[in-house]
Amino acid sequence: MDDETQLFYDLTAQKTADEWYDNNILKPTIQHFIRLLPGKPRVLDLGCGPGHESMRLALAGADVVGIDFSQECIRIAQERCTLPQCQFEVMDFRRLDERWGTFDGVFACASLIHIDPETLHDVISRIRKILHNNGHLMTIIMDGEGILESKSNLKFKRRKLRRTVYGYSKEHMTTASEKFDFKFVSNGYLDKHLLEYGWRAYIFKVLRK
């Protein structure tokens, strides 16, 4: 992730909120995830954007902390997602720490796609530190390997912003996660249209130590 990616999400935050607050395509995915967690779980929405899926996580029964490095996304999340079960904070999840305590689940939807392979291991390590034993991680990523996209169609000051997207195979994610006491559990449910576009959902569980 870099400054241009952050600027991209600042500039598109309102449009994303307008498009996604009423779009329930991920509702079954979230319900599948929440069923794996204990009653009234604490969930970290890692890269929450303007809070649309944080809202759905809360409506499914979770207490939610949403973090994102886009200040504009967090501003909109705090404005539009007013459920008392949701809290939001500006944070770059590459620097994720334990200031919010520990969680039963981490929901990482379309966020790890902006992490390069060299940084991925450190991010997974940080996720592990804030998850309870037997906690679950759901990642929604683009299938593939390497850089899938290196520019966006969004222009700023007459130039196109760079927004790098990385693809990760199930094998890559499983190998990276196993180094930090995660075990692959299953594919998460995804709508067929998302699957056709190349999105994949994978669920990992922390092995009790």
pLDDT tens figures, 86-133: 999 999 999 999 999 999 999 999 999 999 999 999 999 999 999 999
- Using the structure block, give the residue that is written with the tokens 């796609």: 113
What average pLDDT does the structure give for the chain?
94
pLDDT digits (tens, 9 = 90+) for 53-83: 999 999 999 999 999 999 999 999 999 999 9
CA distances from 97 to 69, 88, 100, 114, 154 (A): 14, 15, 8, 19, 32
- Using the structure block, give the residue that is written with the tokens 């196109």: 160
Residues 185-200, mean pLDDT to the nearest whole number: 97
Among 26, 21, 60, smallest CA distance to 43 is for 60
Residue 208 is predicted with a pLDDT of: 72
Q: Which CATH architecture has domain 3-18+40-112+125-206?
A: 3-Layer(aba) Sandwich (3.40)
Residue 203 is predicted with a pLDDT of: 98
